[in-house]
Structure 1
């Protein structure tokens, strides 16, 4: 009996994966570069023209109208955003190709007129759209379709944050809790690396730099502090997810899923909040305060303001990403704790940034790799501990209700396998 692997089939399969993933990475690297450059330009335009915030309700109406018109034939599945990409990987839904271009337009409008949002959501959804387009053109089989959709996610995330290794794992880890499809590592890694270098070398993308100035000494006391802080950051992520999903559910109910009306109302609320607080620091991505949190004090409750602004923005129908808002919340909360916790300021901001993201995204390995790439390998022991802790203590909540739970985070949770985050949260409400 010959147990040798079929090398010919293996080589042909690898060639297909690498070639198609390379095309996906090249395309997503270019489209994400467009996203990043445009968002920077629009953010600067809004900063120089503060009156644009008053047009946010009208921008919301435009986004709602576009999504309703473009999604009419698909039952408005487009509004699922990242969840639709996840369901495409799971084989539950067919990825809708027009989602990518549409989310770019929606993100540009949201950023220009002052909604609180990030960028990776648009990059991931464009990744799914591009991958689906290539898959259909090449007539790829169902099994490889899932892997290549994952590679689209990887290219989008890795390129958006300048973290190709984290992006490769994120594409595999995002869709399910407790399961990694290692077969996807080749296309995911290829697409993420190609996308990253296409954006940086070909299109001149420069990513934000976050520096940890001082790393605390390893000790029992420091480890204990990191664990307790990670638990606190995980609770912040759960609070955001619950508020954001609650606003979405309530706004859809009272408007009967009239997305034009939903977004108009959400825009009015954001305008009112901006006027009440008297600052535009919580509109847009908030990169300036996020960077500030690493080297000087920021307002004590900045994390709560950002939580409310983002939850209202995305919960009422505006679009974009949630990673940067979570980074902002975690970093500013860490900054606010500086006076109470004897740890370096930049370290607290970085710890909060990564741990809060883990609790929302449920991607501990990708988040750990993201910390390594973002912070030049500093404090890796503490980040690994924080990622694991936040992942466990955030429970079965998350940014994306379509994530499937293949294995509970702990048997103490007594969560049935095969359910989605949405079904678990619904059961808890009953």
Structure 2
């Protein structure tokens, strides 16, 4: 029996309305429980001014759990790899331990985020639902992606940006349109459920944005380039510090203990402002209040130590902090509006470190209002380009290079690019080749004239 495409698509829409809504409800419920519990623990621990002295112990315990319960490092990068290579088939047993690790670290002041556990919880729920429904591999991948995106939506408080981030972070240069509808439905549903359950989100619609002008546009361009270079430096620093930490010939939990001691010393030297999520200082910067102009650098140091030592938690919240404070410092340097550039830096650094310029542009709109959209989009794309072919997530696939002048074999993961590429793998575009030929011709004519 022949059936029109429209009929098939109609029933496909009905199918994914049901499945994605179910996954969104479950993720919203479970993720909200985690977020509210985490916030409660952090709120209680913040009542003790010297709780950060427990950082060595919490890092020791987190590494102990990772070594004996988690046989390998399981984070967002592992999820991306599973979705890209294995149709989203996951090991669900790692989720509870991962949550315990994150609570341990954040409660005592480790500089990390809460996004990774929520994304892992969401992906795990999607995987369990796929197993219960006994779907094929293609639908399993979609269901895991639904949960993955819904987890980000619960944390960002931005359902559209959360959905796009979960899709865009899988591969550089492409967006998988076949999963857009399920991801949007799951993310919006999860966001509504978490809101109904009392999870609060950060919103700050900007009341003043400078009028477009030549001076402001130049500041915006320079800012986007600076944020991209900051993203490049941050990713490289995290990678190198992790490699250096792994090379230290000590028992892993002992390395965690020593890393906690280093953070305690740094806290005593500088401030407690750079511990934990750091939401208050980040919000102050976006609201235009005075913030230490080196706050972004100090937060980066605290974050690099936490992530390379503890191997738990997420880096996204610290990146948002670093981006906002870097934007504020840039605004002070060039005499621009601090709130505007703090908001732009907030999303631009995330775009550069994760190769997600579209999702972060939408995130700016959902958090700061539509009036910032064109400026945030320009800065996010510039940051994305200037950060180079690297990412916080080594499993991210590179489908289309960031420039046609760079010869890279498509389909490789970001982590494998360094092994596959050589420094000479640069392909001059046609106009550069013509320019080169032109100058070679001029040089040849000059040499011929001298010979005569």
| TM-score category (smaller protein) | over 0.9
Q: Secondary structure in 1 aligned to 2:46?
A: helix
Aligned residue runs from structure 1 range 331-342, under 5 A: 331-342=324-335
Cα distance between partner residues in 1 of 2:166 and 2:242:
25
Assess if the C-alpha contact under 8 Å between 1:110 and 1:318 holds in 2.
no
Inter-partner Cα distance in structure 1 for 2:229 and 2:37: 33
Deviates more, 1:267-276 or 1:327-336: 267-276
Quote the residue 1:5 is aligned against. Answer: 5
Number of residue-to-residue matches in the alignment: 421
Counterpart position of 2:438? none
Question: Deviation string for 1:265-306 (max 9, x for gaps)?
Answer: 3222211211222x2110000011101112211111100000
Among 178, 183, 193, the residue aligned to 2:188: 193
Aligned position for 1:280:
272
1:78-107 residue CA offsets vs partner (Å, 9 max, x unmatched): x13001110121124731112322222111
Partner of 2:264: 271
Counterpart of 1:142 in structure 2 is: 137
Aligned CA distance change for structure 1 residues 429 and 214 (closer, same or farther; 3 Å): farther
Give 1:290's match in structure 2, choosing from 282, 293, 300.
282
Matched, 1:155 2:150: yes
Q: Confirm or deny that 1:328 pairs with 2:321.
A: yes
Secondary structure of the 2:105 match is helix
Residue 221 of structure 1, CA deviation: 2.5
CA–CA separation in structure 1 for the residues paired with 2:15 and 2:253: 43
* Greater gyration radius: 2
The more displaced of 398-407 and 130-139 is 130-139
- Do the aligned partners of residues 104 and 114 (structure 1) sit closer, same or farther apart at CA in structure 2, a change above 3 Å counting? same
- Supply the distance in 2 between the matched residues of 1:427 and 1:233 (Cα, whole angstroms): 27
What does residue 446 of structure 2 align with? none
Where does residue 126 of structure 1 map in the other structure? 121
CA distance in 2, matches of 1:175, 1:265: 34
Residue aligning to 1:368: 361
Partner of residue 231 from structure 2, selected from 234, 237, 242: 237
Whether contact under 8 Å (1:95, 1:129) holds in the other structure is: yes
Following superposition, the deviation at residue 318 of structure 1 comes to: 4.0
Partner of 2:95: 100
Cα displacement string for residues 63-122 of structure 1 (whole angstroms, at most 9, x for unaligned residues): 1222223333xxx1xx13001110121124731112322222111111111100111111
Whether the 8 Å CA contact 1:106–1:318 is kept in 2: the answer is no
Contact between 1:91 and 1:146, CA under 8 Å: does it hold in 2? Answer: no
Unaligned runs of 5+ in 2: 424-452
Taking the TM superposition and a 5 Å limit, the aligned residue runs for 1:221-232 are: 221-232=215-226
1:408 match: 401
Q: Kindly indicate whether the alpha-carbon contact (under 8 Å) linking 2:231 and 2:383 is maintained by their aligned counterparts in 1.
A: no
SS in structure 2 at match of 1:240: helix
Normalising to structure 2: TM-score of the pair?
0.88
Mark the runs of 5 or more structure 1 residues left unpaired by the alignment: none
Structure 1-normalised TM-score? Answer: 0.93
Q: Encode CA deviations 1:204-237: one digit per residue, 9 max, x unaligned.
A: 1111233423111112332221111011011111
Contact kept? 2:54, 2:108, Cα under 8 Å: yes
Instruction: Assess if the C-alpha contact under 8 Å between 2:241 and 2:308 holds in 1.
Output: yes
Deviation, 1:33, is 1.4
SS in 2 for 1:180: coil
TM-superposed CA distance for 1:427, in Å, is 5.5
Alignment correspondent of 1:254: 248
The CA RMSD over aligned residues, in Å, is 2.0
Task: Please say if residues 173 and 399 of structure 2, whose CA atoms lie closer than 8 Å, have aligned partners that are also in contact.
Answer: yes
Q: What SS is found at the alignment partner of 1:50?
A: coil
Query: Which residue of structure 2 aligns with residue 393 of structure 1?
Result: 386
Q: CA deviation at 1:6?
A: 6.7
The worse-fitting range, judged by mean Cα deviation, of 13-22 and 192-201 is 13-22
User: Following the alignment from structure 2 to structure 1, what is the Cα–Cα distance between the partners of residues 295 and 233?
Assistant: 15
